[in-house]
């Protein structure tokens, strides 16, 4: 039995969806950012980084979304959530690394400016830049990464819940979805999947 630590509205949604898609046995522990539970002594014993997601396994704790997604895919090969070919799997990892290290970081400049600067004026400047940087990231995704119907083409993979999760932040980041028809179509396809519907209902109930 796995245990996933999550917070509604965060990138942990991708891991939650992947667990459901894989048919994995799991439970969910919902933390509250409002109550600063991610910095509690109890949670820091699980994840010293003080962030979500964290996945507790029989072998130990995993953190960082790309690592968790890859672990789920490889632990449940019958779910076919990642290509068997080494090069294709590396492409999956490349896409998920981009979502993690570039796209998510651009988004985080909206509300987490204190991670990179200490002056309030710097925070405001970072926030103003977010619509531009997120639009640029997703223009690249729309043009060069999202093959359709799924990120990797015909095969649904661990890239799809991750892209879906981060694309869900676009409206709040001030990005014009009218310029991203493939991304919007991908979102609609995702929400038609039973596993995604199940997870969204659970998230809504926990919020």
- Predicted confidence at residue 37, as pLDDT, reads 87
Q: Are residues 201 and 183 in the same domain?
A: no
Q: Are residues 68 and 95 in the same domain?
A: no
Q: Are residues 14 and 69 in the same domain?
A: yes
Q: Which two tokens stand for residue 177?
A: 């979805």
What is the signed CA dihedral for 10, 11, 15, 17, rounded to 10 degrees?
70
User: Which residue range(s) make up the domain with 145?
Assistant: 86-193
What sign has the CA pseudo-torsion 98, 116, 67, 184?
Answer: negative
Those residues of the chain that have pLDDT short of 70 are none
- Predicted confidence at residue 205, as pLDDT, reads 87
Measured CA to CA, the distance from residue 33 to residue 31 in angstroms comes to 7
Contact 5, 26 (CB under 8 A): no
Q: Are residues 144 and 102 in the same domain?
A: yes
Q: What is the pLDDT of residues 16-32, one digit of tens each?
A: 999 999 999 999 999 98
Q: Given the structure tokens 């010293």, which residue do they identify?
A: 48
Count of Cβ atoms closer than 10 Å to residue 84 Cβ: 8
- Predicted confidence at residue 113, as pLDDT, reads 77
Q: Are residues 70 and 142 in the same domain?
A: no
- Predicted confidence at residue 73, as pLDDT, reads 98
- Predicted confidence at residue 70, as pLDDT, reads 98
* pTM for the whole structure: 0.96
Q: Which two tokens stand for residue 165?
A: 């999760």
Q: Are residues 178 and 201 in the same domain?
A: no
CATH number of the domain where residue 109 is located: 1.20.1050.10
Q: Are residues 140 and 92 in the same domain?
A: yes
The count of domains in the chain is 2
């Amino acid at each position: 039995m796995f245990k996933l630590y999550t917070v509604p509205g965060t990138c942990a949604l991708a891991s939650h969806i992947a667990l459901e898609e894989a048919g994995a046995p799991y439970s969910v522990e919902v933390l509250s950012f409002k109550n600063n539970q991610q910095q509690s002594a109890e949670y820091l014993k699980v994840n010293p980084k003080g962030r979500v997601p964290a996945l507790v396994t029989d072998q130990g704790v995993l953190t960082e979304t790309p690592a968790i997604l890859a672990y789920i895919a490889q632990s449940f090969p019958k779910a076919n959530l990642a290509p068997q070919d080494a090069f294709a799997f590396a492409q999956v990892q490349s896409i998920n690394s981009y979502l993690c290290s570039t796209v998510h970081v651009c988004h985080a400049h909206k509300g987490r400016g204190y991670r990179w600067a200490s002056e309030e004026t710097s925070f405001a400047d970072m926030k103003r830049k977010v619509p531009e940087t997120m639009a640029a990231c997703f223009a690249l995704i729309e043009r060069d990464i999202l093959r359709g119907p799924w990120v990797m083409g015909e095969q649904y993979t661990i890239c799809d819940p991750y892209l879906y999760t981060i694309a869900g932040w676009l409206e709040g980041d001030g990005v014009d979805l009218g310029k991203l028809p493939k991304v919007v179509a991908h979102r609609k396809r995702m929400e038609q999947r039973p596993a995604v519907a199940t997870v969204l209902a659970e998230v809504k109930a926990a919020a």
